[in-house]
Amino acid sequence: MSDKLYHECHEVISQGKAILEDLQQWGFETVNKNAIEVPVFDVSGPLKKSAPPVLPETLLGLERSLAGCHRCSLAEQRKNIVFGAGNPQARLLLVGEAPGHEEDVRGEPFVGEAGKLLDKILLAMNLSREEVYICNVLKCRPPENRDPQDDEIAACEPFLQQQLELIKPEVIVTLGRFAAHALLKTATPISKLRGQWHEYEGLPLMPTFHPAYLLRNPTGKRPVWEDMKQVMQRLG
């Protein structure tokens, strides 16, 4: 079987499994979603164009390959997978931590209080949500909004890597420590990382504070604006 066909089969099976899960949630108790086994691809490690093509060719394909994901235990309590949203050709890509309650319900990133603040930051940069792309390190909500765990980050990481590979933004902004640590593979505190340019797979990356942190600590707004001014300068 060709890799392309294999991947298409994977997508179809994943979608079928997701539909069966929905039916089960709606009360069709005789449905056995485990009757279908979704093949698990090895999507670990940075993606190389020359590597066997397990990479979906589009963001939509990648999103579909996540349907019904059970790669970590967050699947048990989530309402929706929050894949990401925005312009697939965005010049600026922002990466947050994980969906919260509101995002879990709506299946969209940054639609709660932190999201409103993020909208204001974007507006001040003369950017709209439609122009940028926004996603998270984790695609499912951790219970009670607890911190992401290492195994959850590891399970979800290939999808973030593929989003970045497919979008290839001109600039990445990480919001908060988890996104910066996940992409930069460092444990340096966010207060030391922010405000300086870093690199992820050859792309410039600016770490800054998370909007949820700014809601609790408004004095962080000024440094974030300094960071965003550097981003605007870079984007010309």
Task: Compute the least distance from the CB of residue 57 to ligand URA, in Å.
Answer: 26
Distance (Å, whole) CA 5 – CA 117: 43
The least CB distance from residue 37 to ligand URA, in Å, is 30
* Number of residue whose CB is nearest ligand URA: 96
Stretch that binds ligand URA, among 90-98, 146-154, 184-192, 219-227 (CB under 6 A): 90-98
- 110 or 159, CB closer to ligand URA? 110
> Site for ligand URA (CB under 6 A): which residue of 55, 94, 98, 167?
98
Q: Taking CB under 6 A as the rule, does residue 114 contact ligand URA?
A: yes
133 binds ligand URA (CB under 6 A): no
Q: Does 104 bind ligand URA (CB under 6 A)?
A: no
Q: Among the candidate windows 47-55, 60-68, 94-102, 191-199, which touches ligand URA by CB under 6 A? A: 94-102
Nearer Cβ to ligand URA (72/212): 212
220: contact with ligand URA by CB under 6 A: no
Decide: residue 5, CB within 10 A, 0-12 exposed, 13-18 middle, 19+ buried: exposed
- Does residue 152 interact with ligand URA by CB under 6 A? no
Give whole-number Cα distances, 10 to 54, 67, 149, 166, in Å: 10, 10, 27, 19
Query: Is 99 a binder of ligand URA (CB under 6 A)?
Result: yes
What is the rounded distance in angstroms from the CA atom of residue 122 to the CA atom of residue 215? 16
